[in-house]
A and B are shown apart, each in its own frame.
Chain A
Amino acid sequence: MNSMQLYLHVNGELKQWTIAPGDLLLDVLRREGYFGVKRGCETGECGACTVLVNGKPINSCLMFAAQAEGCEILTIEGVEQGGKLDPLQEAFLEYGAVQCGYCTPGMILSAKALLAERPDPTEAEVREALAGNFCRCTGYLKPVEAVLAAARVYRQSRKQVRPSGARPKAERRPALHGKKR
């Protein structure tokens, strides 16, 4: 089998992996131990395998690993910062938005991409952002409430840490820098 070297950043760490040209990003990430990336359908319909590629939510089952060359990948394992849960993770727990938890990583990552772009989303915008993430357990109400609650926390913390005159863009969390969706 042909093999090739892949260089990319995963959760802020530079990785060099040997892959086959046809390997899917989903399979490579799971092989490398990023088990939070879930396999639900392998046809890009369920969203369980969502990761952020340069800030944009992507179904990793539809992307060749080779296409991620040089990219910044964020998986659920990288959302927690220094042992501290992200406000989205806190809100998912606090609002009962997690049941079986299989769709949860994908939902949190889709929501994270949304909040990076729309700090004050409407409920409709949250539902739009989660439209690609099927959940069979919750009926979506609690995940939507959790995302709206996390957005409030994000906005609050932004206000608190903003020194006078600082440009809002500089306060964005590095992982959230990204291309337009």
Chain B
Amino acid sequence: MSSEHSIVGKNLRKVDGFKLVTGRPAFTDDIHIPGLLYGKILPSPLAHARIKRIDTRKAKVLPGVHAVLTYQDVPRVPHTTAGQSWPEPSPYDTYLLDSKMRFVGDRVAAVAAESRAIAEEALRLIEVEYEVLPAILEIEQAMSDGTPVIHDEPDSKGIHDAQHNLAGYILKEIGNVEDGFRESDLVIEREFRTQRQQHCPLEPHVTISWLDSDDRLVIRSSTQVPYHTRRQVAMILQLPVQRVHVIKPRIGGGFGGKQEMLLEDICGALALATRRPVKIEYTREEEFNMARSRHPQILTIKMGVKRDGTLMANKMTVLATTGAYGSHANTVQGNTGSKVLPIYRTPNMRFECHVVYTNTPVAGAFRGYGCPQGYFAQESVMDEIAYTLGMDPVELRKKNMIRLGDIDELSAQLGEGRKGLPRHIRSCGLPECLERGAAAINWVRKRETLPEKSGHLRRGVGVACSMQGSGIAGVDWAAASLKLNEDGSFNLQVGAADLGTGADTVLAQIAAETLGVTLDKMIVCSGDTDFTPFDVGAYASSTTIISGGAVKKAAEKVRDHLLRLASKMLDVPVDNLTCRDNMVVTKCECEKSVSMEDLAHYAMYREKVQVMENASHWNTDSPPPFCAQFAEVEVDTETGQIRVLHLVTAVDLGVAINPMQAEGQSEGAVAQSLGYALTEEMLLDGSGRMINPSFLDYKMLGAKDMPKLTTILVETEEPLGPYGAKSISEIPINAPAPAVANAVFHAIGVRFRKLPIRPEDVLRALREKAERG
């Protein structure tokens, strides 16, 4: 379907690839700034405490220290750190610095000094006396009567019920699930638990801030949301927006962890206080303790089916914790309902969720955004239903899955913190995903031959499906600007924030395709609030469809302008002209043409006109990509080790603008999800302190740990997407964990409902199974 295109659908090299493989200075910290000071934040050693007394005098007089800030020195402006469109649907419950500490790692004070060593020494010299408060670490504890209140401050806004530590609450129902259960032949209800996982971008959060020669505050930062960050920093530091300039250089990975205004406010405050450039860079340990993580959830799911497998009711009840602050609290959890339940046609659906505060590390946006938790629960129960009914798990899914032309009404009820819009399914490749994925893993044969009946190594296969969105309907929007230069090249300026995803390349491909030029003619500048137009930023799988939509519109306007100019220059009607091969050429046989370079000269020096256009774009719908994932595992019944042998991802992403990059997105998401399934967990001790804040003790998968990966791009044509594209960045992270859990059940007959599934869990379960006989 992309064969008529010359740029879209091609595996072109990344436009920023050369500088990355040669190690050119491209990232936030790859810059020498004269007079740079080192900023450091004093983290709270306590999970819940109030500062009774804080004395910074010794720190302030330490030679080389330029500023020490506490809550007494800065404006108190309630805000959220969540990088979302204004007005953010997350509670305003956070302060630049505060007198109350709500988790181990919360900000006590900040210093700026001549060197990192001096800054660290200054932190040690700050004397703090705390009133220790009882800490709430367990999710179930948070709402009980008489439990200490974490957000007892009077000035926070948007908290659902602060007295019960309830950041958010959601309840939506379509039909009546109790009726649905009565009409069902089989009802299964199970509880699932998911852990706290961290993004672990190889580049930790880093921000450098300074005052430029116009006294404007410049913030150079590893962020996915430059424009939201500008607005939030201006509000927190009480500056006009026009006095803040946010620059996003190359980003060393984000995965949602940088959809957050995390260091920019405090770094800016230090720059204002010292009138010197200041850098704050998290160490890996600080990143674990002080950055964001995936919301842990306890999910109860109850599903009812007819004997033939027809789903009658689906009820999901979630208790989640957002940690100490409510960043993305409502929206992540809303997604757990809105993007999970509707994948199966069910007449009766109910989603209820309590999101509670605890004195634990703050959760936030993380690739998948609530879906990995929901799909782990739902796809595990779907599997159990299939086994109980004696149906093939693939067939059960095919029987119930959402189809082309369907309208998902649950999405309309569960918008991003407000009423949303119904989702119309205008493209759906899920049946093909299931078929091609099953073939790739040899599903039918392996279901027959596995598991082996003897030996300590048992193999099994499992499947799970998921869908996601492509941008937030009615909320996400983006703009793009495109300017012709006299050599026939173009400046493509987008507010979109490539964080390593390849967005700059995909957007440049869309522009080049539309203009009939080669990719090397595109000079991309992205994510700079002075030099690029607005974009909400890189999140919600929005960039290709929303920012790409803006780029396509801008390019079409430029193309129209170019054709009008060429028409005048060549004396040929506009209708008879088209752009291709870096030229404007006649469509008919008379074969007149002008190169882009000559046309640019004509425009600039004869017509005296700058060919330059911009366009904005948003969608009223969020077309879902679809995915079927299959795992083959081998379980060692003597050690409890689960080895994933093969992981197949078949994904309907619309049209792939750059198939190679799309595969890469999928493969990386799978690696993160396998870590979620088997090894990754932030562990807290009884005082709320993380006990494994290093890559040695927090186990991500390495090159040797990965299974064989098969990625199948199932292309469909999405009417709302540029060149038919939907999205790919998040969806493949949703279903590997349940696919693995289902494969483990196939292998050894045990259901695991808590992540990660550790060897000790497997051994314990096998022992219990043996004892039961």
The prevalent SS among residues of A at the interface is loop
Determine whether the beta carbon of B29 is less than 8 Å from that of A39: yes
Determine whether the beta carbon of A141 is less than 8 Å from that of B21: no
What is the size, in residues, of chain B's interface with A at 8 Å between Cβ atoms? Answer: 55
Is A60 located at the chain interface by the 8 A CB criterion?
A: no
Stretch at the interface among B248-256, B303-311, B375-383: B248-256
Could you tell me the distance between the alpha carbons of A138 and B20 in the complex, rounded to whole angstroms? 15
Count of chain A to chain B residue pairs whose CB atoms are closer than 8 Å in the complex: 176
A96: B residues at CB distance < 8 A? 11, 14, 660-661, 663-664
Is A171 located at the chain interface by the 8 A CB criterion?
A: no
Could you tell me the distance between the alpha carbons of A105 and B19 in the complex, rounded to whole angstroms? 11
B573: A residues at CB distance < 8 A? none
Q: How far is the CB of A71 from chain B (nearest CB, A)?
A: 19
B45: A residues at CB distance < 8 A? none
Task: Report which of A37, A46, A85, A135 forms a contact with B22, defined as CB distance below 8 A.
Answer: A85
Known contacts A131-B703, A141-B706; decide if A94 and B13 are in contact (CB<8 Å).
Answer: yes
Task: Report which of B21, B281, B703 forms a contact with A93, defined as CB distance below 8 A.
Answer: B21
B11: A residues at CB distance < 8 A? 96
Determine whether the beta carbon of B202 is less than 8 Å from that of A100: yes
Determine whether the beta carbon of B25 is less than 8 Å from that of A35: yes
Q: How far is the CB of B695 from chain A (nearest CB, A)?
A: 4
Binary contact readout A20-62 vs B (1 if CB under 8 angstroms, 0 otherwise): 0000000000000111111111110110100000000000000
Determine whether the beta carbon of A101 is less than 8 Å from that of B26: yes
What is the size, in residues, of chain A's interface with B at 8 Å between Cβ atoms? Answer: 53
Determine whether the beta carbon of B695 is less than 8 Å from that of A99: no
Known contacts A100-B251, A102-B252, A102-B253; decide if A138 and B668 are in contact (CB<8 Å).
Answer: yes
Could you tell me the distance between the alpha carbons of A130 and B252 in the complex, rounded to whole angstroms? 18
The prevalent SS among residues of B at the interface is loop
Could you tell me the distance between the alpha carbons of A126 and B702 in the complex, rounded to whole angstroms? 12
Determine whether the beta carbon of B21 is less than 8 Å from that of A92: yes
Determine whether the beta carbon of B251 is less than 8 Å from that of A43: no
Known contacts A136-B202, A139-B706; decide if A100 and B21 are in contact (CB<8 Å).
Answer: no
B706: A residues at CB distance < 8 A? 127, 139-141
Could you tell me the distance between the alpha carbons of A172 and B16 in the complex, rounded to whole angstroms? 30
- Which residues B15-37 have CB closer than 8 A to chain A? 16-27, 29-30, 32
Known contacts A33-B32, A102-B500; decide if A136 and B13 are in contact (CB<8 Å).
Answer: no
Q: How far is the CB of A54 from chain B (nearest CB, A)?
A: 20
Could you tell me the distance between the alpha carbons of A168 and B23 in the complex, rounded to whole angstroms? 30
Is A103 located at the chain interface by the 8 A CB criterion?
A: yes
Could you tell me the distance between the alpha carbons of A43 and B697 in the complex, rounded to whole angstroms? 12
B11: nearest residue on chain A (CB-CB)?
A: A96
A136: B residues at CB distance < 8 A? 199-202, 253, 255, 668, 671-672, 700
Is B203 located at the chain interface by the 8 A CB criterion?
A: yes
B20: A residues at CB distance < 8 A? 98, 100-101, 104
Determine whether the beta carbon of B671 is less than 8 Å from that of A139: yes
Determine whether the beta carbon of B703 is less than 8 Å from that of A130: yes
A88: nearest residue on chain B (CB-CB)?
A: B21
Could you tell me the distance between the alpha carbons of A133 and B704 in the complex, rounded to whole angstroms? 11
The 10 A-B pairs with the shortest beta carbon distances in the complex, nearest first, are A36-B23, A100-B500, A101-B20, A102-B252, A76-B23, A139-B667, A139-B671, A45-B695, A35-B30, A96-B660
Beyond the given A100-B251, A138-B664, could you list 15 further A-B residue pairs with CB under 8 A, ordered by the A residue number?
A: A38-B203, A39-B204, A40-B202, A43-B696, A48-B202, A76-B22, A79-B23, A92-B21, A96-B663, A101-B16, A101-B19, A101-B26, A102-B252, A131-B702, A136-B700
**Chain A contact residues, CB within 8 Å of chain B:** 33-43, 45-46, 48, 75-77, 79-80, 85, 89, 92-96, 98-105, 108, 126-128, 130-144
| 15 residue pairs bridging A and B, Cβ less than 8 Å apart | A35-B29, A39-B204, A40-B203, A41-B695, A79-B23, A92-B17, A98-B17, A99-B664, A100-B250, A101-B26, A102-B27, A130-B703, A137-B253, A139-B671, A139-B706
